[in-house]
Each structure stands twice: as structure tokens, then as C-alpha cells.
Amino acid sequence: MASEGDRRADPEVASRRSRLLSGFRLEAEGAKGVAIALLSTVVFVAVIVVAVTQSAGWPEVKRTFFDWGDISSSFPDIAKAFVLNVKIFLVCEVFILVLALVIAVLRSLPGPVFFPLRALATIYSDLARGVPTILVIALLGFGAPALQLTGVPRSRVFWAGVGLILVYSGYVAEVYRAGIESVHPSQEAAARSLGLSRFQALRRVILPQAIRRVIPPLLNDFIGLQKDTALVGTLGVIEAFNQSQIDSNATFTYGAYLAAAALFVAITIPLARLTDWLIARDRRRRQAGALA
Amino acid sequence: MTAVRLERVHKSFGENEVLRGIDLQLADHEVVCLIGASGSGKSTLLRCVNLLERLDSGRIFLGDEEITRKGVDVNDVRRRIGIVFQAFNLFPHMTVLRNVTLAPRDVLDLSRREAEERALELLGRFGLADRRDEYPDRLSGGQQQRVAIVRALAMRPELMLFDEVTSALDPELVAEVLNVIRELAEGGMTMLIATHEMGFARDIASRVCFLDGGLIVEEGAAEAIFSRPTQARTQQFLERIIEAGRL
């Protein structure tokens, strides 16, 4: 809805504002729109706050969850433990990006010769996405070290990481595959017609275009992975979630959980905003390309 | 010398038999235009020569070598035959220069410097030197198609195939692309050209083949085909073209 006001508004200011607010879907609403959004948000939040603080259980919840002393005193320990979550996230992500790409490429091989590889990759994707992550981590984290294989690490963190890599590669492979399939077959024909081999065409022409298109959904899976590093705690490894459980058990309050949640959010929200920004940038580029 | 020879080429897509026994021969430096309605098999014929489609039966020779035999190195065949498509098919994530140097560097193993020299020489010849660092979506359709031609030429092919290369262009951009092809003809390039531009075909072709229903119905010198077609189907086709004001 375009009001009289925003048709007169300076287009440069309007576009800067819409860029700032694009994450919240307020584009093209103008000053009046922003005012309405603000007012409605204030009313909405006020209603929630009143409803919650008037509830019968609020004093007890306030004591157990929102004790600032609990939250801040547990924070340093949890932050220290959280470093492990970040490490797991960063290391796993690298392996996931590589393994998933291999699976996606195997799945997109054409012709009857490659049927076994395609089938294998398909079964892998289905299994990886079908089994609950927490089960995979438990199976590997408790099971693999128990095998006492020589030359293989026995650390639970290592095997939990392997579990995360296996599970997330299934998801990320599907993201890559969607990207590969979105590249028009004429691009491969053009590459092959110049004498490039199938592999060269894939590496130089198809994958660069495919990967560029799927960066936003890839980041989305990064966010999921960052959260799921907390599942490593179920093996008894001291990471942020487990540390907060320990702190919470010591005080019989839950403020420590809030501290852990804040740490996760501090990483995932910037990632989410980055994803939105990339999507918006990609849309702008495509529109600019269409106009040229 | 024979540049390319097709013998009884058949090709079907499912139930649809697109090529029903094509015999065709091009001598070195010959320019042959394929004309005919959409769906008559022109594009499929070109794609078969480039081995982008597998024949159902028949044989194709490039020079003396059968390129449809078992175990042929398709990549080697394709680097010897250039093809330009209706929709340009430039690589959108690469600059003009990179589009042109990709295959020389990756397939012919030229050094970056050699490949770029070769590319710039060709881009300069066809008035595209100042576009070398642009991405394809910043170019006009005519410029994109000229880059696509340069990209194919950079492989120094023995034979060039053109698949309705002006059909996707705005009318005012057609001439610049046809002029490039004309220049290639003058330079002695062997070319097989599927086209709807009858005036151009009449001008440039040493021979014209009229395709209908997957067969070459009539074949001969351009002047003969356009002025005195002998087959009823050729006459009907040309009448429709003249009615549409395209000849």
C-alpha cells in the first residue's frame, strides 16, 4: 500500500531505510507504516508482559530463571565451555561442506553406469536425514570408542563430531543438489561443446553457479549445526549446555540455561541476518541483471 | 577434401523420429545453410555432428575419421568442431575474457598469457575488445552472441556449426552477428548453418539444404533453391516465408 506520503519521500532515504528494515519485511511501507509497526509492537509486548507477570506461577519462575546473580555468575564457566561448541561447529562445517559436495555430485551423475553410486548417495542422504541426530551421536560417541580400534581416536568429542558431519552432510548434500539442478542443461552443453570433460564442466561451469545460488540455504544449515553442537553434551562432554546443567544443578535454579541460550543466540542471530542480507543482495542482483 | 560427411543419420526422441536418414557432405571451405520449419530437425542435426546427441544409426565423418565409432574421444572431436547456440549459452559467472579463455586453457593447455593473447586478438577483430572485463548480462544480445562465436573460434575449430544464432535477437542486432559469420566465410571457414534468415542464406551459402520431416527434401545452389525450387514442399515453405515478408 503506497500512501501519498511515501510517494513524495526522497527515494534515496526510502531505499536506505528499506535496506535497514528488510530483515523485518517493512519495505515500501513508509514513515506511517513504521509508526504503525512500532505502536503495534509496543501494545503486543505490553500484553504479553502483563499476561506473564500476572500469572500464578510467575514469582516462582522469576526466582528460578531470572535471577540476575545466577545468570551472571554462571556466565564465565559457560562461556569457557562454549568455546568447545564453536570449535566443533567450525571444524565440522569444513568437513560437511566437502563431504556433502561429493555426495551431491555422485547423486547428479547421469547414465546407467553410475546407478550404483547414485543409489548409494541417495541411501546415504535418506539415512543421514532419517535418523535423529541425538541417536547418531549416541551410537557413535558410545559405540565407536568401545570398539577399541587401533589408530582411531577414542575421544567422544571426536566421534560426536563425526556424527554431526554424517548427519549434516545429508542435509547439505540436498542443498547442493538443488543448486546443481537449477543450472540449466544448456550450460553443460556449452561447456562440453568446447571440449571440456564432464568433470571440467562440473568444476568450472556448473558448480560455481550452483554454489553461488545456494549460499543462503547453506548458511541456514550452518545455523542448525551451531545449535546442534549442544547435543555433544549428551555424551557427558563439558560444553555449554552440559556446563549450564551442572551450574543449574548446583543452585537449583535455571538462570544458567539462559546464559547458555544467550551465547548460542549471539552466534546464530548474526548468521541469520547475514543470510537474509545475502538473499536480498542476490535478489537485487538478479533484478539488475534482468534490467540490463 | 571432405570436411564432414553424414551417412544415413537417424535420431529419435522417444516416439518422435526427428532425423530420418540424413546424407550430407561438406567440402573444405564450404558454407552450407540448413533451412526449414521449426521442428524439421535442423538443430538436432547440428547437435548430432557435435556429438551432443547420440545417433540411433548412421555414421558421421570428420575429415577421414569416423567420429561416431565406438571408443572415439568425444572431447577431442568437440574441440575440433565449434558450435554456437540460439540462446548464446555464455557462462554468466565469468567475464567475457574468461568465457573465451576457459577452453583454450583447460582443454588445449595453453598458458594464461597465450590464451589471453588469442582471445584479445579475436575480440578485437569482432569489435569486442573494450568488453573483455564485462559479465555477459551487461552486454546486448548481439554482443553476447558475438562473444559466443569468439569463444568457439578460440579453439581454432576445423568446422563451425551455427544453430539459429540470430533467432533470439532483437531485429536491429541481427546484422552485427551475421556480419561476423560473413567475415568467417570470407576467411574460408567451413560452416554448417541452421537459419531462418533467408536473405542471409541466399547471400552466403555455397549450398542450401531444405529440411522437412527429418529429411533433406531438396538441396542445391542458393540461387536455384530460392528461385526455382523443384519440390512441392520447398515451394510451399518458401511461399510462406515470402508471405511473412522474410525473403
- Beta strands across the sheet bearing B215-220: B81-84, B159-163, B190-194, B31-35, B207-212, B215-220
Q: How far apart are CA B194 and CA B165, in angstroms?
A: 8
pLDDT of residue A68: 82
A284 in contact with B at a CB cutoff of 8 Å? no
- Which pLDDT tens digit goes with each residue over B72-110? 999 999 999 999 999 999 999 999 999 999 999 999 999
Residue A288's pLDDT band (cuts 50, 70, 90) = low
pLDDT of residue A5: 42
pLDDT of residue A292: 43
Q: Is there a contact between B57 and B102 (Cβ–Cβ < 8 Å)?
A: no
Q: Is there a contact between B217 and B211 (Cβ–Cβ < 8 Å)?
A: yes
pLDDT of residue B50: 94
Residue B61's pLDDT band (cuts 50, 70, 90) = very high
Q: Nearest chain A residue to B50 by CA: give it.
A: A193
- B89 in helix, strand or coil? coil
Q: How far apart are CA B101 and CA A122, in angstroms?
A: 36
pLDDT of residue A61: 84
Q: Is the pLDDT of residue B117 over 50?
A: yes
pLDDT of residue A23: 54
Write out residues 210-239 of A within 8 Å (CB-CB) of B: 212
The residue with cell 568442431 is B81
Q: Nearest chain B residue to A211 by CA: give it.
A: B93
HSE toward the beta carbon, residue B168, CA cutoff 13 A = 16
Q: Nearest chain B residue to A193 by CA: give it.
A: B78
Whether B87 and A200 lie within 8 Å, measured CB to CB: no
For an interface test with A, which of B48, B80, B86, B93 has the most A Cβ atoms less than 10 Å from its Cβ? Answer: B93
DSSP B2: E
C-beta neighbour count of A32 within 10 angstroms: 13
Task: Please give the mean pLDDT across all residues of chain A.
Answer: 85
CA A188 to chain centre: 31
DSSP A198: H
Lowest mean pLDDT, pick from A52-66, A205-219, B137-151, B190-204: A52-66
Task: Please give the mean pLDDT across all residues of chain B.
Answer: 93
The complex scores an ipTM of 0.91
In angstroms, how far is the first alpha carbon of chain A from the final one?
A: 28
C-beta neighbour count of A127 within 10 angstroms: 13
Q: Find which of A4-13, A112-121, B147-156, B195-204 is predicted with most confidence, using mean pLDDT.
A: B147-156
Q: How far apart are CA A207 and CA A202, in angstroms?
A: 6
